[in-house]
Structure 1
Amino acid sequence: MDFFNSALGKNITFVRPEFFIISGFIGIPNINYYYVFLFFVYIVSVLGNTAVMAIIYLDHRLRTPKYIVVFNLAFVDLCGSSALVPKVLDIFLFNHQYIPYADCLAFLFFCYTSLSMQVLNLVALSYDRLIAIIYPLHYQVKVTHRFMLSLIACFWVFVITVILIAVGLLTRLSFCKSVVINSYFCDHGQIYRLACNDKKPNDVITLFLIVVILWLPLTFILFSYSCIGYALSKVATVHERVKAFKTCTAHLSLVVIYFVPILVTFTMTSKISPNARILNLSLTSVFPPMLNPIIYVLQTQEIKESMKKILKFRKKSQITVKREIMQ
């Protein structure tokens, strides 16, 4: 306690609130329609990501290093949507804006962990495409099941550790003034800016998260596609270039869907209203988990063929069962 009192000042005592108030969507006109939209997005996300996971699990041909990452991405999207959307609907649709202190920190942890893992999965997929196109003859040696599982495991350990540190640093803060969070969830930046004592460690971890979880992954992805573009320019025929580039379209679509809204929102912060910013960021959180499985189903030939095979097998099974019943 002496440490906190010294950080706050001689005449200020350490205050840990019983609850926070989430106020992000309050006051936005016709917001109830948006809640219906969020519910629809959540249902599609759950069904789509569950379907992708089931297809990869059932089809042994899809148990390749690339689809290990796709499976993990679908799992992360499913967990992230389930952590965010139901709680958001509970807070605003059923007027439960008062969220206990510990629950808010747990909410923050799960949301930030899933959002961070989404980005790092895109990094793993970009590395997979980089090696597959630039070093096709060495792909099976460089990108093995063991390597990809180890990479995904390292990403999980790193993200969980960093987010736990960020959450832990919040527990040293004193909230002697407002406890109202102007966001749609327990946003790390919104929380620590409400504190009264020294916030420098929180500024440092925030900067670290922005660099490591946003800018470094984006830089690596752009660099990898620059190398891919250069390698494809050396390919002899246009047909071969198009064929190679088609293997990247699904991943490129995911990158655009995830990064473009974030970059637009943060670069135009001063030009858009707080309500518009909150809506844009909430869409950035819920849209990729919904669109990722749709993109992979529509743009990936292996998954489309696997779906046809599974549906065909199911149809044959139903016909066989009917014949046995009739006999």
Structure 2
Amino acid sequence: MRGLNQSSISEFLLLGLSMQPQQQLLFLLFLTMYVATVLGNLLIVLAISTDNRLHTPMYFFLSNLSFVDICFSSTTVPKVLANHMLGSQAISFSGCLTQMYFLFELTDMDNFLLAVMAYDRFVAICHPLHYTTKMTHQLCAVLLAGSWVVANVNALLHTLLMARLSFCADNVIPHFFCDVTPLLRLSCSDTHLNEVMILSEGALIMITPFVCILASYMRITCAVLRVRSTRGRWKAFSTCGSHLSVVSLFYGTIIAVYFNPASSHSAEKDTIATVLYTVVTPMLNPFIYSLRNRDLKGALRKMVSRNIPSN
């Protein structure tokens, strides 16, 4: 392809966190949140895989969400920690594109899994008698495989569009990872096609699952309001509230970063928003989705007690 990777720049400098005066505090904060993210989500995956009672569609998607969140945080945070320890903010051109590819892919997977989980709850609450016939193992496998395919195709499309651009002089990214918005600002070639694809195809990929989530929870709310038991309604609304809180945080920060005019962006605002959805949200997911669940807490206690020798 003509123009593919004609950049005269061999590496970029990630200065998003190095520009902050409290570098040591940020390093410890990122390290703590990353360890909590990996351990929390890994415990969820292990508990679900080892307990036969949790081999249901809801927990199947939850375990995949936890796996994606581990990979999501691992795409950016280890590089931040390594650069801090080595005293270097450099990342190669190919490494930058690779990081951007996985960010797109895993963001899309988080997006799709949130929508699939909302649909699963919609079937369970609104059509409980048909749940086992609707949410079959085959359907769950198709939904998961289809999500991975679409996420990979979308990530590959945006990565190839970025690879065709030229970067001539400035190689400083005021960010802690290779994100599409700061990269487009550094390009010395025409970025119109990239911006159009982000605002059209990219918006479609993000907004369609979001609309499905809202539609599912509107139906769930209507069904819950018909429940006579106050305790039952409160329990259902509490579960929906936790899920919608993470959905709001996830989509709100993405919309703030990617679907606003370039003139409204600033390095500080973008950094805060991306820290929320790349670091904070994956860390909170095990607590919000899982640790309030009685069955999952029982599976976690059972798994821990099985691995701790008794006196």
Q: Same fold (TM over 0.5)?
A: yes
| Residue identity matched to 2:267 | P
Q: Which runs of 5+ in 1 are unaligned?
A: 6-13, 323-327
> Are 1:223 and 2:223 an aligned pair?
no
Q: Report the counterpart of residue 301 of structure 2 in structure 1.
A: 308
Q: How many Å apart are 1:293 and its aligned residue? A: 1.1
2:161 to 158, 165, 169: 169
> Are 1:287 and 2:280 an aligned pair?
yes
Could you tell me whether the CA contact under 8 Å between 2:105 and 2:154 is conserved in 1? no
| Residue identity matched to 2:172 | V
> Are 1:211 and 2:198 an aligned pair?
no
1:107-166 per-position Cα deviation (integer Å, ceiling 9, x unaligned): 111222222211211111100011111111111111112111110111011101110111
Task: Give me the whole-angstrom Cα distance separating, in 1, the residues matched to 2:297 and 2:241.
Answer: 15
> Are 1:187 and 2:179 an aligned pair?
yes
Identity %: 34
CA-based RMSD = 2.6
Q: How many Å apart are 1:101 and its aligned residue? A: 0.8
1:53-85 per-position Cα deviation (integer Å, ceiling 9, x unaligned): 100010011111111110100110111112211
| Residue identity matched to 2:190 | D
Could you tell me whether the CA contact under 8 Å between 1:22 and 1:184 is conserved in 2? yes
**Equivalent residues in 2 for 1:86-105 (5 A)?**
86-105=78-97
> Are 1:129 and 2:125 an aligned pair?
no
More deviation, 134-143/269-278: 269-278
Could you tell me whether the CA contact under 8 Å between 1:68 and 1:149 is conserved in 2? no
The 1:207–1:93 alpha-carbon spacing in structure 2 relative to 1, beyond 3 Å, is farther
Q: How many Å apart are 1:28 and its aligned residue? A: 1.6
1:163-196 per-position Cα deviation (integer Å, ceiling 9, x unaligned): 0111111121112232222221011122123222
Q: Aligned to 2:178, what secondary structure does the other structure show?
A: coil
Task: Give me the whole-angstrom Cα distance separating, in 1, the residues matched to 2:264 and 2:95.
Answer: 33
Task: Give me the whole-angstrom Cα distance separating, in 1, the residues matched to 2:256 and 2:173.
Answer: 23
1:239-282 per-position Cα deviation (integer Å, ceiling 9, x unaligned): 33234435545533432442344456677997885324313322
1:42 to 24, 34, 38: 34
Q: Report the counterpart of residue 16 of structure 2 in structure 1.
A: 24
Q: Aligned to 1:99, what secondary structure does the other structure show?
A: strand
| Residue identity matched to 2:287 | I
| Residue identity matched to 1:35 | F
| Residue identity matched to 1:211 | A
Could you tell me whether the CA contact under 8 Å between 2:58 and 2:117 is conserved in 1? yes
Could you tell me whether the CA contact under 8 Å between 2:97 and 2:159 is conserved in 1? yes
Could you tell me whether the CA contact under 8 Å between 1:22 and 1:98 is conserved in 2? yes
Q: Aligned to 2:186, what secondary structure does the other structure show?
A: coil
The 1:268–1:284 alpha-carbon spacing in structure 2 relative to 1, beyond 3 Å, is farther
More deviation, 79-88/259-268: 259-268
| Residue identity matched to 1:59 | D
> Are 1:51 and 2:72 an aligned pair?
no
Q: Which runs of 5+ in 2 are unaligned?
A: none
Q: Aligned to 1:26, what secondary structure does the other structure show?
A: coil
Could you tell me whether the CA contact under 8 Å between 1:69 and 1:125 is conserved in 2? yes
**Equivalent residues in 2 for 1:250-265 (5 A)?**
250-263=242-255
Q: Aligned to 1:124, what secondary structure does the other structure show?
A: helix
Task: Give me the whole-angstrom Cα distance separating, in 1, the residues matched to 2:249 and 2:64.
Answer: 18
Could you tell me whether the CA contact under 8 Å between 2:61 and 2:113 is conserved in 1? yes
Q: How many Å apart are 1:93 and its aligned residue? A: 4.5
1:195-235 per-position Cα deviation (integer Å, ceiling 9, x unaligned): 22222221122123541343222222122111111122222
The 1:191–1:122 alpha-carbon spacing in structure 2 relative to 1, beyond 3 Å, is same
Task: Give me the whole-angstrom Cα distance separating, in 2, the residues matched to 1:249 and 1:307.
Answer: 24
Task: Give me the whole-angstrom Cα distance separating, in 1, the residues matched to 2:264 and 2:183.
Answer: 23
Task: Give me the whole-angstrom Cα distance separating, in 2, the residues matched to 1:220 and 1:209.
Answer: 17
Task: Give me the whole-angstrom Cα distance separating, in 1, the residues matched to 2:235 and 2:170.
Answer: 57
